[in-house]
Amino acid sequence: MSIWESIGLGIVQGLTEFLPVSSSGHLVIAQSFIKGFHQPGVLFDAMVHFGTMLAVLVFFRQDLLGILRACFPEKWASFFGTPHEGELPRESAQKLAGYIVIATIVTGSTGLVFRGLIYSLFESLQTVAIMLVVTGMLLFLSDRVRKGHRGTEDLKITDALVLGLVQACALVPGISRSGATIAAGIFLGLRGEEAARFSFLMAIPAVMGATLIELRHATMVPFETMMVFCVGTIIAAVVGFLTIKLLMFVVSRRNLRFFSYYVWALAFSLFLITIL
């Protein structure tokens, strides 16, 4: 893979990780057009996902610092800066941290159990097309439900279990992680912005864990290739940060259904390609 191909894939990841159109599906499609593309396991995919998670860490840094302040003894809380306006009360932030852990356990355990199957699906454009149809249905229906009034402070353990399982389903290429989890949050009665916030926060440990697992393949890649992979990771982080701002704007106005039209059109195109 050339450095320009890595940059292109980084841009694809940065744009599609947060827009509800399935980054993994788009990566599979883009990689299928790169002659001789090869990666041990899904190392490159994991690295560019890590890049977009760096964007999440920066964008939601105040929320993350608030959670850290709540999880450490009060005498150490000042180490993480001063509280910001609108920060969750200490008890609510602690509960939020617990729910993120629960969702992560559900996602991680499910992903490990079905890891072999998930890897095999990354080679199937037909699977991507079918899952894109599913993603489109979730997005379309999420705009049809009554607007929720719950925030992250109102989350319950059952919400965390459901959202963790939905996030695990999004390991399948073609299912948008952000789209599926945000839609699920909306179905559970969360406000769109709050569903997006929790979606991104619970993605951090899941993606970090997946990256660490895939890094075992790093020794199989020449140094020059790893540098090319790192360029794609940096590009994904920069583009991803800008894309988060766009998505938060879209979610606040409940316009997710417009993305459903795009993924359906993409799925139809893939069906035609696989048939012809």
The tens-digit pLDDT sequence of the chain (276 residues) is: 789 999 999 999 899 888 888 777 788 788 888 887 777 767 888 888 889 889 999 999 888 988 888 888 877 777 777 777 777 888 889 999 999 999 999 998 998 888 878 777 776 778 888 999 999 999 999 988 888 889 888 999 999 999 999 999 988 888 888 999 999 999 999 999 999 999 999 988 877 877 777 777 777 788 888 898 899 999 999 999 999 999 998 888 878 889 999 999 999 988 888 776
Closest CA relative to residue 92, chosen from 145, 150, 37, 154:
154
Entry pTM: 0.84
- Rounded Cα gap, residues 40 and 179, in angstroms: 28
How far apart CA 102 and CA 164 sit, in angstroms, is: 7
Alpha carbon distances (Å) from 187 to 58, 143, 181, 256 = 28, 10, 10, 13
Contact 200, 54 (CB under 8 A): no
